[in-house]
């Protein structure tokens, strides 16, 4: 059985992950390439319930370790329920956020350290390492402008710009030391970025 490829999209809030996944889906449809799209946290029934707890704007007293472990818990269930079955069917799996979000947000921006985050996600990464990670490289101040500000009900988006700058710095550092993570310049139009992403997927042998 040919196993499918696993690609993940990363970047700050409003960097264009959802937009680019939608445009890539249209491209894959036009080429009849079988794929699924999914997202973190969530992407399966139990993981979506965990997502609600993590992002609930009423849970401001959640400690950083609890947050990190909930993301890890959501991730492993999502892998078992959604990602692995699709990969085993030979599909391309496109995931909106994955382990690098935990490394950048909880490891770097929250200050828990990337070693701790890597350790609680060790099995996830062992079972399901991404073949390629697309990092949409745009700083949060520019990305936020596109989104017209943060969602007041989202606990992560309620963090200030300084927090999101630390997330961005974390992503930059990770993409510099992790060959699987490819930074895509996305200062142009969303269609230009989409073309860059298709070219990258071809270059890396993810699609023909
Ligand atoms: N290249 C672009 N130029 C201008 N606007 C863009 C571009 N790409 C995306 N946008 C706009 O920026 C906003 C944020 O994009 P999107 O929702 O895809 O980001 P996201 O990374 O999925 O955000 P979130 O982390 O909140 O899910 C949207 O309004 C989208 O239409
Ligand atoms: Mg999105």
Q: Strand, helix or coil at 94?
A: strand
By alpha-carbon position, which residue is closest to atom 23 of ligand 1? 14
How many angstroms is it from 128 CA to the middle of ligand 2?
22
* pLDDT at 25 > cutoff 70: yes
pLDDT (mean) for 66-76: 97
Q: Strand, helix or coil at 153?
A: coil
Q: How far apart (Å, rounded) are the C-alpha atoms in residues 84 and 97?
A: 16
Beta strands in the chain (DSSP E): 6-10, 35-39, 92-96, 132-137, 181-185
Asked whether residue 33 is assigned to any structural domain, the reply reads: yes
| CATH code of residue 20 | 3.40.50.300
Judge if the beta carbon of residue 193 lies within 6 A of ligand 1: yes
Quote the domain boundaries for residue 105.
6-203
The 8-class DSSP code of residue 154 comes to B
Q: Strand, helix or coil at 135?
A: strand
pLDDT (mean) for 104-117: 97
Asked whether residue 122 is assigned to any structural domain, the reply reads: yes
1 versus 196: which is more confidently predicted?
196
Judge if the beta carbon of residue 16 lies within 6 A of ligand 1: yes
Length of the chain: 208
Judge if the beta carbon of residue 41 lies within 6 A of ligand 1: no
Asked whether residue 18 is assigned to any structural domain, the reply reads: yes
* pLDDT at 1 > cutoff 70: no
Provide the number of structural domains found in the chain: 1
Pocket test for ligand 1, best of 15, 16, 167 (most atoms within 8 A of CB): 16
Asked whether residue 118 is assigned to any structural domain, the reply reads: yes
Question: What average pLDDT does the structure give for the chain?
Answer: 95
* pLDDT at 146 > cutoff 60: yes
* pLDDT at 2 > cutoff 70: no
To the nearest whole percent, how much of the chain has pLDDT over 70? 99
How many angstroms is it from 4 CA to the middle of ligand 2?
23
Asked whether residue 1 is assigned to any structural domain, the reply reads: no
The 8-class DSSP code of residue 91 comes to -
Beta strands in 69-195 (DSSP E): 92-96, 132-137, 181-185
Judge if the beta carbon of residue 146 lies within 6 A of ligand 1: yes
Asked whether residue 208 is assigned to any structural domain, the reply reads: no
Question: Looking at the CA of 151, which ligand is closest?
Answer: 1
The total of other beta-carbon atoms located within 10 Å of residue 85's CB is 13
């Amino acid at each position: 059985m040919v196993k499918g490829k696993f690609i993940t999209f990363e970047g700050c809030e409003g960097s264009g992950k959802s937009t680019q996944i939608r445009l890539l889906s249209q491209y894959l449809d036009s080429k009849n390439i079988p794929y699924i799209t999914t997202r973190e946290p969530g992407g399966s029934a139990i993981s979506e319930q965990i997502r609600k707890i993590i992002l609930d704007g009423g849970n401001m007293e959640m400690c950083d370790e609890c947050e990190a472990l909930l993301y890890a818990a959501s991730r492993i269930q999502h892998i078992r329920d959604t990602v692995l079955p699709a990969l085993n069917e030979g599909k391309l799996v496109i995931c909106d956020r994955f382990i690098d979000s935990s490394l950048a947000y909880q490891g770097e921006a929250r200050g828990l350290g990337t070693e701790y985050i890597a350790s609680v996600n060790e099995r996830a990464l062992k079972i399901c390492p991404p073949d390629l990670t697309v990092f949409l490289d745009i700083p949060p101040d520019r990305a936020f402008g596109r989104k017209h500000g943060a969602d007041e009900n989202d606990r992560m988006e309620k963090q200030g710009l300084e927090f999101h700058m630390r997330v961005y710095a974390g992503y930059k550092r990770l993409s510099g030391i992790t060959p699987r993570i490819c930074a895509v310049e996305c200062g142009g139009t969303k269609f230009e970025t989409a073309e860059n992403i298709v070219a990258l997927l071809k270059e890396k042998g993810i699609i023909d």
